[in-house]
Amino acid sequence: MKADFCVVGSGAGGAVVAAELAESGASVVVLEQGPGHDADGFTARPPEMLARLYRDGGQTATLGTPPVLLPLGRGLGGTTLVNSGTCFRTPPYVLARWAREFGLEVDEPALAPFFERVERALSVSEVTPELAGANAAIARRGAERLGWSHGYLRRNARGCVGSGVCVFGCPTSAKQHTGITYIPRARAAGARILTGADVRQVLVAGGRAHGVRARRADGSALEVRAPEVIVACGAIYTPLLLDASRLADASGQRGRNLSLHPATAAFALMDEVVDMSRGVPQSFYVDEFAADGIMLEGVAGPPAYAAMSLPLTGARHARAMADYRHLVQFGLMVSDRSRGRVRSVAGRPLIRYDLVREDLDRFRAGLARLEQLFAAAGAREVYLPLGTGVRPQHASARELRLAAFHPLGTARADARPSHGVTDGDLAMHGVAGVHVADGSVVPSALGVNPQLTIMALATRLAFGLLGRPAPDIPRRSSSQARGSDEEAECLS
């Protein structure tokens, strides 16, 4: 096959850049390792959907202290297929850090047109209190009584009915993941989309890319000839593909600098009926402690999910599940200083990540805040993700039960070839014709969900490859502008 551009991956980065390139008249081939998924087959049963929609059944994990569960989506849409849909713009203070420490020429005004373009494409809007459900209402009650800054999250959803199973495949296709937004756009513009294509190598000759080599699901070989290759396999698999292709890396940073936004969650038992699976699971946030690297965000799910997640055993677990309708849950995410590394062992990723003391202290403080939030909301009992009798202030790293959903940084962007894998335009240092468009280029933890950041950077990359100026920002109504200003003030 021949094309102007070959895009490897169809998640938040790959699908976006593919659609933008194809709609401008370029010939594009998209290669996705996973399958396409039909929403009619989404059953909302967690064990079944974990096996179908997640890589390794959702059991990818890091080695280190403590181990961190790292679920990754697999299929058209990548992890956008199974995330909670939360859409934050990159905080301005993070962009300022990128300019200061990594020499990246990106700031709020420069990225605003790309954020606007993505938000329109994904129908991003704020969750209403009614759709958020009782789980969010209880967290809001606690935050208001404590005087903590809070708000309803913005999400990429259209026609959401609050099925409560975002992370197990939206059964109504309300969540606007890239598999039903950007991929159809790319296909309609002439892009060729191939699933079941496992790319093994980026082909380079004379210091320049000229295509990729892949293996199809039926075992047949596939080669795509293209002068421009965009790698968008995600922060875990992109560095492995670059390594397997033996591409130059003068910085020595490939596969390093892995940040995760490690997270945990607590449950509480309320007197009132909650039915936490009714409504948007991640719909509300508390950013009172964002400056300390602690973000509290909603999380919830159906009984099977709660049974897997409750930090209880035996009779206590059984009693809590018998009261499922009265359970409430809320999450804690840390903007981590810890950094990990990804490397290949026998063709599989080995992910090493150890929590540093500073992040342990954040979890201790964050768990105490979660307990405080539930108490203020009127909880009868609080179930922290710690061993019996362990108080947050005394928790060790080994005692934490952590998961993470935002791997970043393993092909980080830096203007200096000696410090980064890619430059400020997401082009690989030292190899012409290779760009990276996924979370691996994000050079630091964001402190907020990264989906929108990755998509805006991918849009910017596409415009740069096409030599086009930034898109115009459409004029908004006064109510839209007021909502945006209020959100920005809250996040700052």
Q: Catalytic residue positions?
A: 406
DSSP assignment of 241-264: HHHHTT---TTS-TT--BB---EE
Question: Could you tell me whether strands 348-352 and 341-345 are parallel, antiparallel, or unpaired per DSSP bridges?
Answer: antiparallel
Count Cβ atoms below 10 Å from residue 384 Cβ, excluding itself.
Answer: 21
Rg of the chain on CA atoms, in Å: 22
CA 461 to CA 80: how far, in whole Å? 19
Nearest to 355 by CA among 343, 371, 338: 338
> Which residues pair with residue 340 across a beta bridge?
258
Query: Alpha helices, DSSP H only, in 261-313?
Result: 303-309
Distances (CA, A) of 15 to 30, 191, 192, 249: 8, 11, 12, 26
Query: Alpha helices, DSSP H only, in 207-356?
Result: 234-244, 303-309, 314-322
Cα 338 from chain centroid? 18
For 342, the token pair is 């990804």
Task: Give strand ranges (E) for 108-188.
Answer: 124-126, 150-152, 154-156
CA 84 to CA 73: how far, in whole Å? 12
Burial class (CB in 10 A: 0-12, 13-18, 19+), 141: middle
Q: At CA 16, angle to CA 15 and CA 20, rounded to 5?
A: 115
